[in-house]
Structure 1
Amino acid sequence: MRVGLGFDVHRFQEGRPLVLAGVAIPSPIGLLGHSDADVILHALMDALLGALALGDIGDHFPDTDEQYRGISSVQLLSRVMDLITARDYVVSNVDVMVMAEAPKLSPYKKEMIQKMAQTLQVSDDQVSLKATTMEGMGFVGRREGIAAQAMVSLVRCTENV
């Protein structure tokens, strides 16, 4: 078994769509980034890459490369999964914590879990997604951005998952 930890943060920006875990969330502001700035999937990709000591998303999808401008992080996650499966690993489970004062994510959690599970090629019960506020403290509490942490475990394909 291999374990990985990921973290990401993006600031809010007017005029950008808000995409979290591959799901478009109705919001007057989105997250600033070179790609779609999906903070949840970015943390998840870093956790997956870290589990196999493959670097981070900046190594694989640098923000200096125009081919990644505006790209869907679901597409990037699929590419990361190709790296994982090429090494004969599968996802055993995923645990994600997203920190956001707004918007409220509970109405979208089920769809977000389903989108992550589908892209990771696992069942919904292998993906945990939790959301919390920061009680008004720090940049998240001031509604300046969103942060996410992810932990994953991977097992060799030959093992029972």
Structure 2
Amino acid sequence: MIRVGIGEDIHPTDDSRTLILGGVIIEEGPGLRGHSDADVLLHAITDAILGAAALGDIGHHFPPNDPRHAHADSADFLRTALRLARQTGWTLGNIDATIRAERPRLAPYIPHIRERIAAIAGVDISTISIKAKTSEGLDAVGRGEAIAAIAVVLLHQ
């Protein structure tokens, strides 16, 4: 049996914060505003896992108004989602995700992001695909006002 989940997230840019994507600090910035560390990529992946396992969404498990999650490490959200999925009999098959950002240029960071997500998830790096795209100046992402991510995961029993 297999299930597929999709997750997406978007956060506004914030030059006063450090940019974290896929658990990797990216010094070039801009950072992202959010209640936790605002790791838009890990949020999308977490939501995709929870969705595939029919366990709700990230806001249900980690409400943004809960002070326990203020400045939280989003890697903990991903670990929790994976643990919950495993408890209901699901195993992660693969992750395919896309980050949408005008800046910084993310291609040099993709190998490290893949390694970090594989380490967090406890899977082989060959199961992690991360891509980066711009929005060609269109919408909030294209204007540099936000960074977004979308993720698809496969779970199997």
Whole-angstrom distance in 1 between the partners of 2:30 and 2:63? 24
- In 2, are the aligned partners of 1:2 and 1:155 still within 8 Å (CA)? yes
- Letter of the 2:99 counterpart: V
Once the two structures are superposed, what CA deviation does each residue of 1:56-78 show, in whole Å capped at 9, x if it has no partner? 10000001110100011011111
Whether the 8 Å CA contact 1:4–1:152 is kept in 2: the answer is yes
Contact 1:15 1:28 in 2 (8 A): no
Does residue 60 (structure 1) correspond to residue 64 (structure 2)? The answer is no
Q: Which residue of 2 aligns with 1:34?
A: 35
Q: Whole-Å Cα distance in 2 between the matches of residues 133 and 20 of structure 1?
A: 15
TM (norm. structure 1) is 0.94
Aligned to 1:134: 135
Matching residue of 2:5: 4
Q: Mind listing any 5+ residue stretches in structure 2 that lack a counterpart? A: none
SS in 2 for 1:47: helix
User: Whole-Å Cα distance in 2 between the matches of residues 28 and 57 of structure 1?
Assistant: 24
Counterpart secondary structure, 2:117: helix
CA distance in 2: counterparts of 1:132 and 1:88, whole angstroms:
34
Matched-pair contact (CA < 8 Å) for 2:48–2:152? yes
Task: Please name the residue that 2:71 is paired with.
Answer: 70
1:98 alignment counterpart = 99
Letter in 1 for 2:30: I
1: CA distance between counterparts of 2:156 and 2:120? 17
- Look up the SS of the partner of 1:24 in the other structure: strand
What is the Cα deviation at residue 129 of structure 1?
A: 0.3
Moved over 3 A (4+): none
TM superposition shift of 1:28: 4.6
Q: How large is the Cα RMSD of the aligned pairs?
A: 0.9
Number of positions where the alignment pairs a residue of Structure 1 with one of Structure 2: 156
Distance (whole Å) between structure 1 residues aligned to residue 27 and residue 64 of structure 2: 26
Whole-angstrom distance in 1 between the partners of 2:14 and 2:103:
13
TM superposition shift of 1:27: 2.7
Amino acid at match of 2:138: M
- Give the Cα separation in 2 of the matches to 1:127 and 1:29: 25
Give the fraction of aligned pairs with identical amino acids, expressed as a percent.
44
Structure 1: any 5+ residue segments left out of the alignment?
A: 157-161
SS at match of 1:50: helix
Aligned residue in 1 for 2:52: 51
TM-score computed with the length of structure 2 as normaliser: 0.97
Partner Cα separation in structure 1 for residue 3 and residue 104 of structure 2: 33
- Cα displacement string for residues 82-110 of structure 1 (whole angstroms, at most 9, x for unaligned residues): 10111121110110011100001111111
Alpha carbons of structure 1 residues 125 and 14: separation in structure 2 relative to 1, 3 Å: same
The whole-number CA distance in structure 2 between the counterparts of 1:12 and 1:109 is: 20
